[in-house]
Amino acid sequence: MKKLWLIIQREYLVRVRKKTFILTTILMPLLVIAIYALPILFVKLAEDEKHIVYKDDSGYFENIPSAKTIHFTPDNRPLEELRKVYKSEGYDGVLHIPPLRNLNANIKVEYFSDEQISVTTSEAIERRLEKRIRNKKMEAAGLTQAQLDQLDTEVTLREIKESVTGEGELVQKDGQANAGLATGLGMMMGMFMYIILLIYGSMVMRSVQEEKINRIVEVIISSVKPFQLMLGKVIGVGAVGLTQIVIWVVLLMLLQMIALPLLGLTGGGGMPDPGAMSGVDPEEAMGVAQQMMEAVAALNWAFILPMVVLFFLGGYFVYSSLFAAVGSAVGDDLGESQTLVFPIMLPIIIAIFITMSIMNNPNSSIAVFGSMFPLFSPIVMPARLAFDPPLWQVLLSLAILLGSAVFFVWLSGRIYRIGILMYGKKITFKEIWKWMFYKG
């Protein structure tokens, strides 16, 4: 046990002291924050007040309401004159509304300027004209906004999940109210597990290959058992991965609380107007954002987060042990390494395809199968957690995964003990199969 601990300690300390580890650990959260913050910052920097003079030949738009960054000024001078003098009078463009014979027909207005109009400005103009025409139609029909509001009825779907206990009692609980949010979170969790398993599994394989190529392993094997060496590497690199993930989470939280407010990207008026950014009504955009935040808060994070960690650990031990076995079987021949790695990569790739296919039906047969099969479940089941799958499926999937992790670690150890000292021989799948059952 002491030797195993020394191997774990060595694998862990060697990696966390590397400059690459320190740089990636620090830079990754900064990159994530930059991906989130820079587009918003660029939008803020690009925000510029527009002053538009308009000529209304229809008689319906005597006063177009201004927006946060767009100001409208009516002018009855001839259009040709306005097009000549608008720049010298401090306007950015001229909007011309032609005579309208029929409010029910589509309307085409013209905008004259020496600058390309932005999408945001174009949509703001269209929205305000459409709203004014709608109000005119209401007046012509003798309707008020209150009467129109009475015609609209909001329907909200509340999902109630029912189950029957062993005593025959019916138990109810609220289900997921936002399927779109669950789909997005599910895909994010699935992709996160996919990337993490590949990164740290490959790290174990490279470590084994390096020691084998440099003949360091021959010295180490003289004092420890091959299985102890492999297990120490797997646990040590896994500890590195967990350390990095924890630091990433902490740094992301700190950066979000400190850096973004300093940039003026959070809080009261710091965020750009969501309606101005997307062309959506600001109140509607804020309502959707509020619903999403409530849906996120309603998720059972006290259950989801521990399960994600456990599935990561189970999946990591399964795949890292397989990667270690492959690393012990090959030397510096990259072609041979890629051939043996492909069967390990294939289940991970298939799991991602299963994850993408089950988002519309997270309780389908293929979803349940993917959650139970131990080579797929580390990716598929975390993606399903946002959809609140049956508890028995989660626990059964976890039990199968952890049991499989023990089996694959044992199986990979049998390959590792022979492959790590095998030199100068081309390794095939048939040869590896023999190593699994070799006694000695």
Evaluate whether residue 33 is within a structural domain.
no
Residues 124, 249 within the same domain: no
Give the pLDDT confidence of 258-272 residue by residue, as tens digits: 766 665 555 444 444
**Angle formed by the axes of helices 391-419 and 301-329, nearest 10°:** 20
Instruction: Please report whether residue 10 resides in a domain.
Output: no
In terms of residue numbers, what domain contains 127?
49-144
Summarised one tens digit per residue, pLDDT across range 97-115 is 888 777 777 888 899 998 8
Q: Which of 22-36, 220-234, 328-342, 417-431 has the lowest mean pLDDT?
A: 328-342
Pair 372, 240 in one domain: yes
Please report the pLDDT score of residue 177 as a whole number. 47
Phi, psi angles (nearest 5°) of residue 207: -60, -45
Closest listed residue to residue 337, CA positions, set 324, 352, 320: 324
**Residue keyed to tokens 């521990």:** 306
The CATH number of residue 102's host domain is 3.40.190.10
**Residue where the block lists tokens 């005597």:** 62
| CB atoms near residue 159 (< 10 Å) | 12
**Rounded to whole angstroms, how far apart are CA atoms 182 and 384?**
9
Instruction: Say yes or no: 223 and 125 in one domain.
Output: no
Q: Is residue 37 part of a domain?
A: no
Where is average pLDDT lowest: 17-21, 80-84, 346-350, 385-389?
385-389
Quick check: is 163 in a domain? no
Summarised one tens digit per residue, pLDDT across range 17-46 is 989 889 988 998 888 778 777 776 776 666
**Residue-wise over 190-215: b if at least 16 C-beta within 10 A, else e?**
bebbbebbbebbbbbbebbbebbeee
DSSP codes, 356-400:
HHTTT-TTSHHHHHHHHSTTTHHHHHHHHGGG---HHHHHHHHHH
Domain membership flag for residue 20: no
Q: Mind listing the pLDDT tens digit for each residue in 197-206?
A: 888 888 888 8
Same-domain pairing of 273 and 352: yes
Residues 309 and 246: beta-carbon distance below 8 Å: no
- C-alpha span between 210 and 214 (Å, rounded): 6
Same domain (yes/no): 244, 135: no
Name the domain count of the chain.
2
The last residue of a domain, from among 99, 127, 144:
144
- Residue 230: CB atoms within 10 A of its CB come to 26
Per the domain annotation, does 15 fall within a domain? no
Q: Are residues 283 and 391 in the same domain?
A: yes
Residues 197 and 241 in one domain: yes
Strands (E), 99-169: 110-112, 160-164
If asked whether residues 116 and 187 sit together in one domain, one would say: no
- Within a domain: residue 235? yes
* Same domain, yes or no: 375 and 321: yes
- 335-372 CB burial, b ≥16 within 10 A, e <16: ebbeebbeebeebbebbbebbeebbeebeeeebbebbb
Residue where a domain terminates, one of 102, 129, 144: 144
Taking the model in full, what pTM does it have? Answer: 0.68
215 & 83 share domain: no
Cα 400 from Cα 408, distance rounded (Å): 12
Radius of gyration from C-alpha coordinates of the chain:
31
For position 268, what pLDDT does the model report? Answer: 43
Residues 303 and 357 in one domain: yes
- Residue 260: inside a domain: yes
**Same domain, yes or no: 134 and 214:** no
